[in-house]
Amino acid sequence: MKVLPFKIPKPESAALVYQVDLEHVFYDKLHQHEEIQLSYIVKGEGNLIVGDTINYYKSGDIIVIGSQLPHVFESDREHQKQSHMQTLFFTKNSFGKDFFNLEELTELHAFFKRAKHGFKITSKQTEFVSLFNSIEKATKLERFIILLQLLKLFSRAEHKSLSSFIYEKNFSIIEGERMRNVFDYTMTNYEKDITLETVANVANMTKMLFVSISKNIQIKLMALF
């Protein structure tokens, strides 16, 4: 499997999309999309891959996935009958190229900085849940106002980053296949000793090339901190 470019289904004129996922498992393909994703896990649990990191999600989690950040919700198929998630999708340019650059919205800049890595909320849970639960019956104008309230709350709440690396490009088919293969192998064999040679083979690369790419990633990570 590969990192799939994914288009969020929406009417042509829609700037903000509200989506409810009510399935046995969530969409289980590693994918990326232009839209920033704000999600409330009403029910469900499993592994959450975001960027270069494997996390865990559970009922009650409030999660933000940044634009073009590869991710997948690997639902636990054995311990749940149904998964339920509420999500808002939007881009930084949804309401105009300079909308979020307005002086009145300076307070929201912290949100967009955090979103690049993806993050999970660790405080103000009740306030977030209340806002998400009000979205379904809200008008389009009310949803826009709720979005601004959420972004304000996201900018102030305590959080935990989900990925240590920022992705600012679409992945090619080959890159996506390599990443997905390494993720799948690691998640299946994490209890075993995984050698450099094995991982390089899984990525269909020589050990020398794999080490070279890994060093480049480490340099980029160091530049972020």
Picking from 119, 140, 161, the residue at the C-terminal end of a domain is 161
Burial (CB count within 10 angstroms: exposed 0-12, middle 13-18, buried 19+), residue 150:
buried
Amino acid 225: pLDDT: 35
Instruction: Note whether residue 53 is domain-resident.
Output: yes
Let me know whether 120 and 197 are in one domain: no
Amino acid 203: pLDDT: 74
Amino acid 177: pLDDT: 65
Picking from 109, 130, 161, the residue at the C-terminal end of a domain is 161
Amino acid 38: pLDDT: 98
pTM score of the predicted model: 0.73
Asked if residue 77 lies in contact with residue 24, where contact means CB atoms within 8 angstroms, the answer is: yes
Distance, in Å, from the CA atom of 62 to the CA atom of 119, rounded to the nearest integer, reads 9
Amino acid 76: pLDDT: 84
Amino acid 214: pLDDT: 56
Domain containing 200 equals 173-223
Let me know whether 21 and 124 are in one domain: yes
Amino acid 10: pLDDT: 67
Strand, coil or helix: what is 121?
Answer: strand
Give the CATH number of the domain where residue 97 resides.
2.60.120.280
Per-residue pLDDT of the chain (225 residues; tens, 9 = 90+): 345 555 666 666 789 999 999 988 888 788 889 999 999 999 999 999 898 888 999 999 999 999 989 899 988 877 667 899 999 999 999 999 999 999 999 999 999 999 999 999 999 999 999 999 999 999 999 999 999 999 999 999 999 999 876 655 555 556 656 666 776 677 677 677 777 778 778 777 777 776 665 554 444 334 433
Instruction: Note whether residue 66 is domain-resident.
Output: yes
Let me know whether 188 and 100 are in one domain: no
Instruction: Note whether residue 109 is domain-resident.
Output: yes
Instruction: Note whether residue 62 is domain-resident.
Output: yes
Asked if residue 164 lies in contact with residue 51, where contact means CB atoms within 8 angstroms, the answer is: yes
Let me know whether 146 and 50 are in one domain: yes
Let me know whether 198 and 151 are in one domain: no
- Can you name the residues that pair with 19 across neighbouring β-strands? 87
Alpha helices for 99-195 (secondary structure H): 109-115, 125-133, 140-156, 173-189
Instruction: Note whether residue 31 is domain-resident.
Output: yes
Locate 153 and state its tokens: 């709350």
Amino acid 130: pLDDT: 97
Let me know whether 65 and 97 are in one domain: yes
- The upper half-sphere exposure of residue 141, i.e. CA atoms within 13 Å in the direction of its Cβ, equals 0
**Which H/E stretch holds residue 57?**
strand 53-57
Distance, in Å, from the CA atom of 4 to the CA atom of 43, rounded to the nearest integer, reads 25
Asked if residue 49 lies in contact with residue 71, where contact means CB atoms within 8 angstroms, the answer is: yes
Let me know whether 157 and 82 are in one domain: yes
Let me know whether 137 and 179 are in one domain: no
> What total number of domains does the chain contain?
2
Amino acid 98: pLDDT: 95
Let me know whether 125 and 97 are in one domain: yes
